[in-house]
Structure 1
Amino acid sequence: MWCGNRSRVLIFSRSAGAGAAVMKLPLIVSLCLVAVVWQTTLATAALAPSKVVKLDETNWTLTLNDEWMLEFMAPWCPACTSLKGTWDDLGSSAKVLKINVAEIDVTTAPGLSGRFLVTALPTIYHVINGEFRQYKGPRDHDSLFTFVEGKRWKATEPVSWWKNPDSIQMSYVSYFFKMSQMLRVVHNILLEQYGLPTWGSYLVFALATILLGSIIGLLMVACIDFLYPQKATDKRPQPSPITKSEEAEVMNDDLIDEEEDNSEEYETQDDKDEDEEKNSASDTPESDSEEENKEIENSGSGASDKDNKSSPNVRRRKTVRKEK
């Protein structure tokens, strides 16, 4: 009896386990199907081409037409890496939103980072028909979609004309950024390939800067001398400036000259008078004595005139006049 009951219990337990396994079979199959569908979806997404346009310095002018969302990123930027999924979703919805989504790698396009004055990463711009606006809101999925779909970019002021990436001055700024990238590459070559220390690389750049500045300065001076040649100057010795004391002496000499001129006029008049007296008919002894006295006076005045003319003041006056 006991053996028979035991066999019955075993048979019953086995039948119950088989029924439970049959009941779990659909659940297992459904889980397997879900796993297969998920793997297929991931594989399809990985093989599907990205809808985010890659822009560089050769095709960035495409943004001057239509509506664009631009992201400036770098592979080494952690914030850019975290934004990548959201940015890919925005690119997948580009057709629905009727926009174009693009990203720019600043490591391969340093000129564009200078043209757009990118100072932090990631930097996002909204562009519509050549009007550039920088997006400074949250970088989550809903905020980006609302900014584009709700046209909230209209509340943001466009970039000023002097900072417009399409302007001439920003083109020159982009060249400076390219030059800085080139200098960084040269710096790394000097450190890695030639084994120079950091201060050695800086010394090379300093010497190159001084040499280049000297050459440019010489070229500028040569061009200026060619365009505006120097006028010929008078190389004759210039008289030394007259001091106040010398000027006073010259004025005194002028006064003496005036007195001499007046005395000469008086002498000329006296000579005429003498000639008239000689031609007159009266020849009295008194007249003769008077004539002798006049001759003596005239001789004395002539000697004094000669003394005055030979005085050092008169000679100095003549010298000053010749110098003038």
Structure 2
Amino acid sequence: MHYNCSFTRKANMYLITLFVILCASFANLELIELNENNWKLMLKGEWMVEFFAPWCPACKSLSPIWNRFANSADQIGLKVAHVDVTKSPSLSGRFLVTALPTIYHIKDGEFRQYRGSRDGDAFMFYVKQKEWQKSEPISSWKNPDSIHMSILSYFFKLSHLLKDFNTSLQEEYGLPTWGSYAMLAAATIIVGAALGLLLVCIVDFLYPAKKSQRQSFLLSEEKSGSAVDDEIVDDIEYNDDDDEAEDDEEADSSPEVSEAEDEEVKPNSCSESDDDKNDDAEMDSDSKNKHPNKSSSSEVRRRNNPKETK
């Protein structure tokens, strides 16, 4: 009898536990979990999506309210979902999530960020009264479905992978912090160089250079050297022409200079001849003074013999 009672109690406890689990599963049946693989489901129909993180206190306080809202949202044809940013980091980059929790309203691919009160009644009023029409949708360049936002999401995913890799290096392999950062820096440099080389090869393949442009560096140097030599030769010829012109000008001006010099020399020669005559006269006078008798005797002879004078 005692055995039957204990068995009945255990069976009742199992049933109660199963009932609680089923109730919890049905309670969360309307709440859809989106990730990097199925997030495009929100592009069709009307959605309310919450971005949260398990460690966020505000997200924890909003969780029961959001679950109740998801259970009642089916009445108005609304789908309610949430995204764990720790599991889907690329979606946080795609939607530019900078604060948690962040709530978006999506209607046929138009995204609007919900900025109202965080309670079930406010959510229902926002959807039923179409309050979302009063706010402008996000701009096209911020559209999560655009190409550039897709590229940005891959960068966010890469950063998350690098963070996990750094954590595993320190915790599992015991690598010091500086060692893990040095390894990541070296990997970044190598990957950057490889991507740069790949980009150059792609550009060269898509836009090949013309044959006229494919000249070696030596040929270009030879051309530049010949051009410099030509310039030097031209300068030398130009200087020779200038010298010849200067010589011609000097030749033209030399007769005038010689004539002027001759004119200057003639007066000097005349003056020299006059000086010579004066010197001769002085010498004659001196001789006369020295020999006065000779002169007088000659004069007497001339007077006495006029024939001699004739």
Task: Give the corresponding residue for 2:157.
Answer: 178
1:223 and 1:53 map into 2 onto residues whose CA distance is 43
2:67 corresponds to 1:88? yes
% same residue: 47
Task: Tell me whether 1:161 sits opposite 2:151 in the alignment.
Answer: no
Q: Which of 180, 184, 189 is the aligned partner of 1:205?
A: 184
Q: Which runs of 5+ in 1 are unaligned?
A: 1-38, 260-324
Judged with a 3 Å threshold, the aligned counterparts in structure 2 of structure 1 residues 162 and 185 are, in CA distance, closer, same or farther, namely same
Task: Work out which of the residue numbers 96, 119, 129 in structure 2 matches 1:117.
Answer: 96
Following TM superposition, by how much is the alpha carbon of 1:116 offset from its aligned partner in structure 2, in angstroms?
0.8
Q: Distance in 2 between matches of 1:59 and 1:245?
A: 77
Give the counterpart of 1:189 among 157, 168, 172.
168
Instruction: Assess, with a 3 A threshold, how the Cα gap between structure 1 residues 41 and 144 changes in structure 2: closer, same or farther.
Output: farther
Which of 228, 241, 245 is matched with 1:251 structurally? Answer: 241
* 1:239 matched to 2:226: no
Cα deviation, residue 56, structure 1:
1.1
* CA distance 1:214–1:44, change in 2 (3 Å): closer
Deviation of 1:222 (Å)? 5.3
Q: Are 2:89 and 2:160, in contact at CA under 8 Å, matched by a contact in 1?
A: yes
Counterpart contact for 2:46–2:108, Cα < 8 Å: yes
Counterpart check, 1:150 vs 2:140: no
Worse-matched range after superposition: 231-240 or 244-253: 244-253
TM-score using structure 2 length: 0.63
Please list the CA deviations of residues 254-307 of structure 1 after superposition, one character each: whole Å capped at 9, or x if unmatched.
537989xxxxxxxxxxxxxxxxxxxxxxxxxxxxxxxxxxxxxxxxxxxxxxxx
**Counterpart-to-counterpart distance in 2, 1:73 and 1:131:** 21
Letter of the 2:120 counterpart: H
What is the CA distance between 1:76 and its match in structure 2? 1.2
Match of 2:158, SS state, is helix
Tell me the distance in 1 between the aligned counterparts of 2:75 and 2:164. 42
C-alpha distance in 1 between matches for 2:22 and 2:242:
116
| Contact residue 27 and residue 71 of structure 2 kept, 8 A | no
1:46 equivalent in alignment to 2:36: no
Q: How far apart, in 1, do the equivalents of 2:236 and 2:67 lie? A: 95
User: Aligned equivalents of 1:234 and 1:75: distance in 2?
Assistant: 66
Match of residue 22 from structure 1: none
CA distance in 1, matches of 2:139, 2:163: 30
Q: Distance in 1 between matches of 2:25 and 2:95?
A: 33
Please state whether the residue corresponding to 1:125 is helix, strand or coil: strand
Quick one: distance in 2 between partners of 1:255 and 1:212?
A: 69
1:250, CA displacement in angstroms?
2.5
The one-letter amino acid of 1:76's match is: W
What does residue 268 of structure 1 align with?
none
Q: In structure 2, which of residues 17, 21, 35 is the aligned counterpart of residue 56 of structure 1?
A: 35
Distance 2:221 2:233 in 1: 24
Q: Secondary structure at the match of 1:93?
A: helix
Runs of 4+ aligned structure 1 residues displaced above 6 Å come to 39-44, 256-259
- How many equivalent residue pairs? 222
Cα 1:220/1:132, change in 2 over 3 Å: closer
RMSD: 3.2
Q: List alignment gaps of at least 5 residues for structure 2.
A: 1-16, 250-310
Which one of 224, 230, 244 corresponds to residue 214 of structure 2? 230
The 10-residue stretch of structure 1 (241-250 or 155-164) with the greater mean CA deviation from structure 2: 241-250
Q: C-alpha displacement at 1:130, in angstroms?
A: 0.6
Q: Distance in 2 between matches of 1:224 and 1:100?
A: 46
For residue 225 of structure 1, report the CA deviation from its aligned partner. 6.4
CA deviations on 1:81-138 (whole Å, 9 max, x unpaired) are 1001110111011122221001111111111111111111111000001100001122
Of structures 1 and 2, the larger Rg is shown by 2
Contact 2:50 2:103 in 1 (8 A): yes
Q: Deviation at 1:146?
A: 1.4
